[in-house]
Amino acid sequence: MKRGIDVNLEKIKGHSYYIKGGTNSGVYVFKDKYALIIDPGLSNSRGNRIIKLFEKEGIRIKYIVNTHEHSDHYGASKVLLNHYTGAKCLASRDAKVFIDNAYLFSMYVYGGKSNKFFDDFFKNRGEILNVEEILEEGEVKLNNEKFIVVDLKGHSLGSVGIITEDKVLYLGDSLFNESILDKYNFPFLLDISAQINTLDKINSLEFDYCVIAHGKPLLDREETLDLVYKNKMVIDKYLNQLREFLTIPYTREDLLKDIIEYNDLKLNYKEYYFSSSTLASMISYLIENDEIDYELENGKLYYYMK
């Protein structure tokens, strides 16, 4: 029988902690031993391991915050809600739409009704979930303690970050660690303009430490700002590649083909469509900035630099 990976509660500062995993989870433990958990992870098995850990520590979950609408972050939420009576699930208004209706994510990435090739990659996500409370940008009081919610859309429509009173910033996927940038070199981004604004916003936030969802969990402020710069450079790299390619007319499919080949990207079915979605977002960015035009010829749509 396959044994689950043990989880541990790692202290950062004050009442702020994290749990390492495929998705790194944030934890804030209140004085009364209730807890707020951020991004519990993908699967029911991950949720059950968290329950076991918290029972050992004498902690009960009161709030589950999902930084955005991707199932590797919120999938384990339902098993926690079933176990902890009265616990509440929180997310942004935009994230709620996709969390409450999980099938929408596959549809928007694929560009139509999804299929088993794509959906098989999400078969381990947890049960159907409903977000009960909406997080708005600004200060929020939970269990009589203050947290700051930061709008960080870009990677997704509903991305937010959470800052605790310990000045620990939980970023979700709003910043990609170097190991993730190496592995998934063409990052999954919904809105390029918004992501650039988010990276600038992270630079201006007051925090001492930050927790990122994938890869090395904990960074100090200096490491975080260095990573912001590297994330910007990756976006710039691909935008500049598109500008070079589009000196001649290109279809979107041929653009994606050349990006994959030029950067030696190794993709599966899901990652191909994630990359296709990012490319669409980058094309939209260039259109917004009045850099490219299009032409429809012989049943094909071509983009090119103005």
234: region left, alpha or beta (phi > 0 left; psi from -120 to 50 alpha): alpha
98 and 160 share one domain: yes
How many domains, in total, are found in the chain?
2
Which of these, 219, 113, 241, 121, lies nearest to 175 by C-alpha position? 219
141 and 257 share one domain: no
165 and 33 share one domain: yes
| Span 161-180, pLDDT tens digits | 999 999 999 999 999 999 88
Neighbouring CB atoms inside 10 A of 170's CB total: 31
Q: To which H or E segment does residue 278 belong?
A: helix 269-288
| Residue at 60 is within a domain | yes
| 118 vs 243, more confident | 243
Structural tokens at position 296: 């429809």
pLDDT at position 204 over 50: yes
115 SS3 class = coil
Query: How far is it, in rounded angstroms, from Cα 94 to Cα 159?
Result: 8
User: What is the pLDDT, as a whole number, of residue 1?
Assistant: 34
User: What is the pLDDT, as a whole number, of residue 234?
Assistant: 97
* pLDDT, mean of residues 216-230: 97
| Residue at 274 is within a domain | yes
Neighbouring CB atoms inside 10 A of 178's CB total: 14
14 and 111 share one domain: yes
Would you place residue 183 in the very low, low, confident or very high pLDDT band (cuts 50, 70, 90)?
Answer: confident
CATH of residue 152's domain is 3.60.15.10
33 and 101 share one domain: yes
Last residue of a domain, one of 221, 237, 253: 237
Would you place residue 2 in the very low, low, confident or very high pLDDT band (cuts 50, 70, 90)?
Answer: very low
Cβ(121)–Cβ(270) below 8 Å: yes
pTM of the full structure: 0.94
| Residue at 2 is within a domain | no
200 and 165 share one domain: yes
233 and 208 share one domain: yes
pLDDT at position 124 over 70: no
| Residue at 184 is within a domain | yes
Would you place residue 4 in the very low, low, confident or very high pLDDT band (cuts 50, 70, 90)?
Answer: low
138 and 246 share one domain: no
Query: How far is it, in rounded angstroms, from Cα 16 to Cα 36?
Result: 10
232 and 245 share one domain: no
What is the percent of the chain where pLDDT is above 90? 92
From the centroid of its chain, how far is CA 17? 19
pLDDT at position 123 over 90: no
Last residue of a domain, one of 214, 237, 260: 237
The CB-side HSE value for 128 (13 A sphere, CA atoms) comes to 5
163 and 209 share one domain: yes
Neighbouring CB atoms inside 10 A of 205's CB total: 17
Would you place residue 5 in the very low, low, confident or very high pLDDT band (cuts 50, 70, 90)?
Answer: low
Range of the domain at 92: 10-237
| Residue at 208 is within a domain | yes
Cβ-in-10-Å burial (0-12, 13-18, 19+) of 123 comes to exposed
256 and 233 share one domain: no
- Mean pLDDT over the full length of the chain: 95
216 and 251 share one domain: no
| Span 146-156, pLDDT tens digits | 999 999 999 99
* pLDDT, mean of residues 103-111: 92
pLDDT at position 266 over 80: yes
